[in-house]
Amino acid sequence: MSGSRELILERVRRALADAPLAPESPRDYRRAGTLSPVARTELFYERVCDYRAEARRVRAGELPVAITEVFAARGAQRVCVPNDIASEWRVDGVNFVDDEELSWEELDHIDGVLTGCTLAIAETGTIVLSAGAGEGRRAITLIPDLHVCVIEERQIVETVPEAMTLLTELGAQRRPLTFISGPSATSDIELNRVEGVHGPRNLVVLIEESA
């Protein structure tokens, strides 16, 4: 409603007739972390586990074995992957289905999804997806019930500000971002935490040691 636009702006300007001052916002909070890479990975691992996601640390080069085990342990046979996933992740024994415009219905009948991520935040146990390479569209990590996410150790930052500094560029490119901290959960029934409502009920994070 075009009249409303002018009306609201006019109301705002009138409300601010006293010209309130807004000095530069102080930013004295911690920006950079202080942990060593080893401690940072350790913290990330702990925090992910804290939110009852499954986390595994995997030696460089042993990722295919870990992927095979994770899907086998859950009996997941048909697994969706973004088209541009690293070829070494396409292990034998799993039927990988490339995401070529799969419908929501089709995704609903997939056993799981395997993706990489953009970065991870140690302090909060968060992984961030940005629809980038090896991550796919948002829907593929949302509809299937099992999400296996591979993180390279060097993708882990310690603090939220460090993460946002790296993500600002992606934000400017209008990439959709999803922050995931553990499997979906609700505390709406007497504050009992129940894992898994609408998103994947199982989140497995594979942390690959940097070579």
Please list every residue from 51 through 80 that binds another protein, using CB under 8 A. 51
Return the amino acid letter for 130. Answer: S
Give the tokens for residue 116: 């990489």
Nearest distance from C-beta of residue 117 to another protein, angstroms: 14
By CB under 8 A, what part of segment 134-193 binds another protein? 137-139, 142-143, 160-161, 163-165, 167-168, 171-172, 174-192
Contact call for residue 100 and another protein (CB under 8 A) = no
Nearer Cβ to another protein (186/210): 186
Contact call for residue 105 and another protein (CB under 8 A) = yes
- The C-alpha atoms of residue 204 and residue 85 are separated, in whole angstroms, by 17
By CB under 8 A, what part of segment 115-134 binds another protein? 121, 123-126, 131
Among the residue ranges 18-26, 58-66, 67-75, 82-90, the one whose residues contact another protein (CB under 8 A): 18-26
Q: How many residues make up the chain in this entry?
A: 211
Name the CA radius of gyration of the chain, rounded: 21
> Reduced to 3 states, what is the DSSP secondary structure of residue 60?
coil
Give residue 71's Cα distance to chain centre.
19
Give the one residue of 27, 36, 92, 100 binding another protein; rule: CB under 8 A.
27
Question: Which residues make Cβ contacts (< 8 Å) with residue 108, sequence separation at least 6?
Answer: 143, 144
